[in-house]
Amino acid sequence: MTTDLTPKRSRALLPLDLVRGFLIGLAELVPGVSGGTVALVTGVYEQLIASASHFLGAAKRLVLGPDRRAGFAAEVRRTDWFLVGPVLLGMAAAVLTVAGAMEAFVGDHPEHARGLFLGLVAASIAVPLRMLPRRERGTGGGRGADVALFAVPAVVAFVLVGLASGNEVADPPAWVVFLAAAVAICALVVPGVSGSFFLLAVGLYSTTLTAVDERDLGYVVVFAAGAVAGLAAFVPVLHLALTRHRRATLLAMAGLMLGSLRALWPWQSGGADDEAHGPGSLLAPTDPVLGPVLLAVLGVVIVLVLLVVERRASVTDRDPARPA
């Protein structure tokens, strides 16, 4: 069970949290990779969801009451700002500095990009499975229910990824950008569901990255407004699910991560309009082979290193006097 106690995060973790935020932002730029997956691997996922829920609760109390000032202040104090601040700064740095370069890498070297992130996501599936609480005796369903909770989301994600069109929309209306951002940002906070891949599926991936890279403020403002609306609607639901239905939620997340690997198989035919980074039919490995395979192995190693660093950092945070 997650708790809502006032967080007391060590300020010594600030540089590491900046790196975590950068990695989360970097992941969200890649179709098929979820920023939530990176947050989960680096050990800050539930803290971020809880803090986001408290912040949104503060805004709700301020607007709707009761006890607007007191309620707002209480929820703000429960928000872990020494985590949220550095992570948001790191994410913003990633989006503003490497959006164009990441689009070029994914587009010009799709097999290598997919290989790297295939390894990252595949190794990450173990993370929510390791976090599963023990099944309580007397609860219905047993192992069969667990298998269904894992398999059904995996199949759904696999099928939906295969249905993505990849057609690019050059000049979308503002309401389309708003709604797309609201859905994509929900994908940001769910491991295994890629916000960038959703944008790719509705034809706004390259359009959005180009707008960010070229500082198109009109597009960015509309997109940001949609993202805020999406978070306000979805984060409280997700926080409640992790609190009250933790085992089922984590199993579903792991299944989504498994199904999302469909988007990251390195060898695919070009999607619609021959988008190199778009979804296509799965192919047998063809040249290049060695590069994507080595990068997939590198992705697995990166996840293992992040897990070790996160574990040592969490031990140090719990007991500052104990050596890492």
Name the residue with higher pLDDT: 61 or 90: 90
Q: Check if the beta carbon of residue 196 is closer than 8 Å to that of residue 103.
A: no
Confidence of residue 280 (pLDDT cuts 50, 70, 90): low
Q: Check if the beta carbon of residue 162 is closer than 8 Å to that of residue 230.
A: no
**The tokens 């990252």 sit on which residue?**
120
In a domain, residue 324? The reply is no
What local confidence, expressed as pLDDT, does residue 155 receive? 92
Candidate from 97-111, 120-134, 161-175, 220-234 with smallest mean pLDDT: 161-175
Q: What is the pLDDT of residues 26-48, one digit of tens each?
A: 877 776 677 788 888 777 888 88
Cβ atoms < 10 Å from Cβ of 318: 9
In a domain, residue 251? The reply is yes
Candidate from 49-58, 191-200, 289-298, 300-309 with smallest mean pLDDT: 191-200
Structural Rg of the chain based on CA atoms: 20
What local confidence, expressed as pLDDT, does residue 176 receive? 87
On average, the pLDDT of the chain sits at: 79
Nearest residue to 39 via CA among 253, 184, 201, 226: 253
**Whole-number Å distance between alpha carbons of 48 and 44:** 6
In a domain, residue 204? The reply is yes
Sign for the CA dihedral angle at 293, 295, 296, 297 comes to positive
Nearest residue to 279 via CA among 291, 269, 292, 294: 269
What local confidence, expressed as pLDDT, does residue 1 receive? 39
Nearest residue to 19 via CA among 47, 38, 46: 38
Q: What is the DSSP letter of 191?
A: T
What local confidence, expressed as pLDDT, does residue 150 receive? 92
Residue 139 has pLDDT above 60, yes or no: no
> From the centroid of its chain, how far is CA 13?
21
**Whole-number Å distance between alpha carbons of 41 and 150:** 18
Nearest residue to 58 via CA among 78, 84, 82, 41: 78
Residue 4 has pLDDT above 50, yes or no: no
What local confidence, expressed as pLDDT, does residue 137 receive? 60
In the chain, what percentage of residues exceed pLDDT 90? 8
Sign for the CA dihedral angle at 12, 15, 19, 25 comes to positive
In a domain, residue 128? The reply is yes
Token pair, residue 197, equals: 């891949």
In a domain, residue 4? The reply is no
- Within 8 A by CB and 6+ apart from 147, the residues are none
Candidate from 2-11, 200-209, 287-296 with smallest mean pLDDT: 2-11
H/E stretch holding 121 reads helix 110-124
In a domain, residue 272? The reply is yes
**Whole-number Å distance between alpha carbons of 44 and 18:** 12
Whether pTM > 0.75 for this model: the answer is: no
Q: Which domain holds residue 177?
A: 12-318
Strand extents, DSSP E, the chain: none
Residue 162 has pLDDT above 80, yes or no: no
282 DSSP β-pair partners: 268
The verdict on whether omega for the bond into residue 66 sits within 30 degrees of 0, i.e. cis, is yes
- Within 8 A by CB and 6+ apart from 113, the residues are 30, 105, 106, 277
**Whole-number Å distance between alpha carbons of 53 and 37:** 19
- Tell me how far CA of residue 48 lies from CA of 76, 86, 261, in angstroms: 14, 11, 24
In a domain, residue 6? The reply is no
Residue 6 has pLDDT above 50, yes or no: no
Token pair, residue 247, equals: 């085992």
Q: What is the DSSP letter of 214?
A: T
Q: How far apart are the first and last CA of the chain?
A: 26
Q: What is the pLDDT of residues 198-248, one digit of tens each?
A: 787 777 877 888 888 788 889 999 999 998 888 888 888 888 888 888 899
User: What is the count of structural domains for the chain?
Assistant: 1
Name the residue with higher pLDDT: 264 or 86: 86
In a domain, residue 2? The reply is no
